[in-house]
Amino acid sequence: MLKKSLTVALLFTVLVLFGCGNTNEHEETMVNEDDIIGQDASVEPNEPAKNNNRVPGAERGGIVTVDGWLVTMDLFETDEAFPNPMKGFRPTRYIERQLEAKGYTTVFKHYIKYTDLEQTDSDTVQKIIDWSNESWAHIQKHNIKVIPRVVIVYPNGPGGGSHGYWAEGIPSQDVVERWLTDELKDRLTVFIHKLGEAWDNDPRVAAIEIGLWGSWGEHHIWPLSLPDSTEDRIPPEIQQIIGDACLDAFSNKKVMVRYPETFLDYEFGFYWDSFALPDNADCGNMIIQRNLWRTQMITGETAYDWGDQSLLGGSPDGTLSRNDSTDYVIGWIKDTGASSLGWISEYSSNDPVIRENAAHMQKALGYRFVITSAMYPAVVEPGGNFPINLTVVNVGSAPFYYQWPVQVSLLDDSLQPVFSDIVHVDIRNWTPGRTYKVHDTFVIPENFLKDEYIVALAILDPAGFVPSLRFANMNYYCGGYTPLGRIGVGTLPESFELFNFDSLYFDRSLYYTLEHGTFEIEDRQTYTREPRIIPGTDSFVHLPGNLAFNKPVTVSSTETQYDNYDYKINDGDPGTRWSSAWGEDPSWVAIDLRDEYTISRVRLQWEWSRASAYEIQVSDNGKDWISVYSIDKGIENVDGNMIEEITFDPVKATHVRLFMTRRALEWGYSLFEFEVYE
C-alpha cells in the first residue's frame, strides 16, 4: 500500500511526446575481418561506452498517458534497419577465405571441408571442437553467429574441391557410385553424431545446413545422374540415414536441407540456394506449400550465375539499385518466411539508392518485433507487486526460432539494471503479422531503494544471459535496452518523460559468451490462433479455433504419386489433400497439437476414398492412444467434398489421431482437411 503522502490521486492526464533528434541518413559501416576473427582476447566489447550516434527523426519514442495511478505508453516503430541475431543479410565465408562482414552482419554461412573435421574414422569430436575454436575465435564478442555447411565435393574449389575432400577409407574414384557406398553411409551417421556433440550446444552456431552429400553439399550430383535413373537428387535411403542422424544429433539447433521435395518425413527447414530466381520458382513454391516456416528456419542465397536475371538484375547491386527488383525479392522473403539471405549481401553500400533498398530488405528478413503499447503502475512499493501489460507485433516475415528470455528491468540514473526478472512468454510464438498481448506480474524486493527508475525491456541470449535481440522501437538505450518510461518505487516520479535515445544501428556493444545457457520458462500468455493464407491461392482457410491448423502431422503412409503429402491435411486449403498408400488397412493420421487442450469436436472433410470404419483417438504423449469415438459405418454419400462433424465428451489431449480400419473404396484413404476443436 502507498504511503499517505502518495495517496492523493493523480486527477490529471499528461500527454508527453518524448524524444528528439535531427533528420539525417546514416551510412552503413563496414566491419573488417580483423574486427571479427582473431581479435585480441583481452579486448572486451562490453565495456561501458556511450553511443554518440543518435537516431534520426524529429518524433521519438511515443506518447505517455498518466491517468490515476496507471501509466500507458503508445510506442512507435523505428525507421532504422539494424543488425539483430540470426536474421538479415548473411555473408558467406568460403573455403580457405576470410569473412567479409558488413554492418548488418549477425550471422554468416561457413563452407567447411569434410577433411578439416574428419580425416580418418579414428578422429574424435575434439578435432571438430578444436577446429571450431580456431576458426570462429572471438565472434561472440561481436554478437555474430555462424551457419556451418560441411561439404565433400566443392566444384572448382581450392585444394582439389572438384574431386572432393574425401576422408580415408571412403571409395571416391567413381564419380557416381562414391555417393552410394556403404562406407559413406556408415561414416555419415557417425560423423553427424560427432557434429552434434560439437555444435548442438555451441552458442556460436545459429543453425545447421546439412550438406555433405552431392556437389557443394546441395544434395544433387548434376549434371550426372544416379545409376539406372535420370534423377540427380539425394536418394531416399540416404535421406533417411542423414535425417535420422540429424534428429538424434541436433535437439537444440535448427537443421536445414536444400530441396523441399526431399526429406518429406522430417520437419527440417530449407536453404534455397537459387532464391527468387524465376527458373527455380518451383523450389520456392514447394517451400511455401511445405508450410514449415512457423517452426523451421528458411534461408538461402540469390543466384547470379545462371538462369533468367531480368528480375534480379544480374548482381547484388543490380537487384538493390532497382526498386522493382528489391520488391520482387522482398515478396519471396515474405512468402517463404525467409530469415537470412546470402550473395545479395555482397552489395556495395556507397550508392544511396542501394543503401536505402538494402535497409528495406533488412527490415523484411526474419522477425522484427515492435512494442506498440505498454501499461504499468506509476508507483510501486518495496515488497509489492509490479504488474505490466505489453502489446507486441511482429512486422517481419518469420518468427524467432529459439526460446530466448524477455527480461524486464528497472534502470537507475546511470542506465544500469538494479532489478530484473523474466517475463513468462515464449517469443517463438510471435509469428509475422500478428499482435500479441503480454501480461505478467513481478515482486519488488522488500529492501529495494525508494527512488525513480526507468522500466526497460531486453531479450537475452541464454549464452551469458546478456541483452542481444532488440525490439524495433524508436526508444533505445545502448546495450540492448528498450526503455518504456519512468516508474516510482515508494515515491512519485517528477516526470515520466524520456529523452536522449541511442541508435540501434550504431550500437556495437552487444555480445554473448561461450557459456552454454539453458533456458526454459512457462509461457502463461493466451494466443488467438489465426491462419496464414498461403500466397498465390484464393482458397478459404480454416475455421477460427481449429487447433490442428498447420500443426505437425505424421501418417502411416503417403500416396506420393500425386503429391498428396501429409501436411496438406491441415493446411486450411480445401483444394489440397492427403492420401494414404493404396490398399493399406489400417491407416492413420496423427496431429501434434503442440500443447494440451480440452477437445470435444473433430471435423473431417473426406475425398471419395473415405473410411467406412474408424476411430478418433487421443494421447498425452503421441504414443499411448485412447479411443474417444468410433464408427463402423461412415458417411455414405459419394459426391465428393463429404464432411463429418464428430462430437464426444470433452477430453484433455496433446495429440489426436484418426485411426482408419476399413476402406469404403478399393484404393486408399484420402482427406482434404482434418480439424480439431475445443
**Which of 60-64, 116-120, 547-551 shows the lowest mean pLDDT across its residues?**
60-64
Q: Is the pLDDT at 144 greater than 90, yes or no?
A: yes
CB of 15 closer than 8 Å to CB of 64: yes
**Which of 56-70, 154-168, 568-582 shows the lowest mean pLDDT across its residues?**
56-70
In the CATH scheme, what is the homologous superfamily, with its name and number, of domain 553-677?
Galactose-binding domain-like (2.60.120.260)
Q: Which of 443, 449, 387 is nearest to 420 (CA)?
A: 443
Q: Is the pLDDT at 334 greater than 60, yes or no?
A: yes
Q: Give the Cα separation of 451 and 495 in Å (integer).
A: 13
pTM: 0.75
pLDDT class of 243 with cuts at 50, 70, 90: very high
The cell numbers describing 625, all together, are: 492412444
The cell numbers describing 319, all together, are: 537487384
Condensed to tens digits (0 to 9), the pLDDT of residues 605-630 reads 888 888 989 999 999 999 899 999 99
Q: Give the Cα separation of 137 and 44 in Å (integer).
A: 14
Q: Give the Cα separation of 491 and 5 in Å (integer).
A: 9
CB of 117 closer than 8 Å to CB of 193: no
The pLDDT, as a whole number, for residue 52 is 44
CB burial class (10 A; 0-12, 13-18, 19+) of residue 158? exposed
The CATH number corresponding to 4-82+368-489 among 2.60.120.10, 3.40.50.1980, 3.40.50.300, 2.60.40.770 equals 2.60.40.770
To the nearest whole percent, how much of the chain has pLDDT over 90?
69
Calculate mean pLDDT across residues 373-398.
96
Q: Is the pLDDT at 291 greater than 70, yes or no?
A: yes
670-677 vs 578-579, strand pairing mode:
antiparallel
Dihedral Cα 316, 284, 269, 181, nearest 10 deg:
-100
Q: Which of 576, 534, 526, 568 is nearest to 548 (CA)?
A: 568
Q: Where are the domains of the chain?
A: 4-82+368-489, 553-677
The pLDDT, as a whole number, for residue 400 is 98
Give, as one character, the DSSP assignment of residue 462: T
Q: Give the Cα separation of 346 and 318 in Å (integer).
A: 11
Q: Is the pLDDT at 27 greater than 60, yes or no?
A: no
CB of 352 closer than 8 Å to CB of 25: yes
CA distances (Å), origin 631, targets 490, 586, 669: 65, 14, 16
The pLDDT, as a whole number, for residue 60 is 53
Condensed to tens digits (0 to 9), the pLDDT of residues 455-475 reads 999 999 999 999 999 999 999
The pLDDT, as a whole number, for residue 495 is 86
